[in-house]
Structure 1
């Protein structure tokens, strides 16, 4: 039953965000794996539209926060408000107390704001003054960012990047897809349009997450998953090019994320076991924001995706 509901939501997302099936699938994987998602791409590629569509398909509160250079931590967490009639301070909750948070253009905000968001993402709680407040059981941060080359953007701290389950890079659509986008924007009915399904209940999401964790993974596949992450740290054992390109590899948090995402990918595919293909399909999204390239790699024009592709080539597939 839960699988059918997720498939209905996926079909709806695909009909709302044309030509971005990998993006919409990753949104569902993030929900199933109980993680946060970072989406990078130029403005105008339906990043915000996709998150809005997802929020409509989930039973829960949704809030969008536009990140700007003048944003303050209290704008996210909330603050203590003085009540003259009682002479007491009362805490007024901020946007982070919603279930789904869209952090739009996250890399335009200063470090203090990122620090407040980091606690929420990592600990599922926020601290204001001397008091710590728990966040809802269903809590997701879906963040968008523009490429760093654009005006007024700042790189996110490595510790915060590591808290994102996956990072997706969105590119421009093909010509045929862009024509459909144009027609959809004019209000025309397109073939394959799907009505919005009944919103997923939070109880159904939690049950689906349990099913995902119970997906079978053979020991050889498990070892393969671990070796892929280890290769990012011990590159010299696999390839001289890889050793020149990588300064720092991924942490054990990446191993956990890769495991959860591969299981979610298998579950969405209707299988009760994980294959190496599931791991390879999510490997780039889980790892690209967790590795640090060397100066040599940057000078040679090597990207994180190229380094990760080399890891997939060098580590034997079971």
Structure 2
């Protein structure tokens, strides 16, 4: 996407932002579990990616949680307390006042009852957002669809607009995570993920960085980590426990070690995600302390690789991926 935008002559200038744009862009991922791109020149914040999807899964729209991971997102808020457009979880996971069920739950029930359904769609962009030019934030995502075919669960995301340098990484991470969770809850294999965008664009200020990513992508020595699939026995209880762990770590009420992570009883996949949040807690709350090797050893190798390139003075480059890159 970045390469196409750099080579595209089409340009736009909207709301004070200028840069290259391509219309009607689509792509498909064959393995959505491989949702973490590894580029040293694109210092992706995988901690924020995880926190954002947990924010969605909790049906939240509060500024308090996202401020801890991404302070600049407070600019999306009008009242300083809540975020409207980017809070997709309120439309997907917050229970309806009438039925007590979320749109996500209703969609899964529809897939269970009618395996061939084409109606398993969760609307996200609301009619009230049309023409609201004064609001600093309206939903970029229009809808998310699930399609069950031949024992596999496919995901389709429809977006009105996407920033290919900033938002695309987070959006693909979130929706493929939600898709994989849905597949496990339904007892299905993970299918493909498709992403359709009306306006794919980047800002002029990001073009030099985009060129660096494209150049790095062309290097034969680029490292990749095999995708760890979500455990087949994943339940909502596990997700709720992860959300509870996140809240405690964010508030600096608990401090995990390798032993305490094992004592949570969570499967290793989910322990690795808690370890990721623990490392970030130490980066924020314990800036002078060395991060213990037993916690770093629990990290998914790709996550540790990203943490090192994001915070090189706190997370040492001792993973197999870094040794391979050297």
**Above 0.5 in TM-score?**
no
The TM-score with structure 1 as length reference comes to 0.27
More helix by share: 1
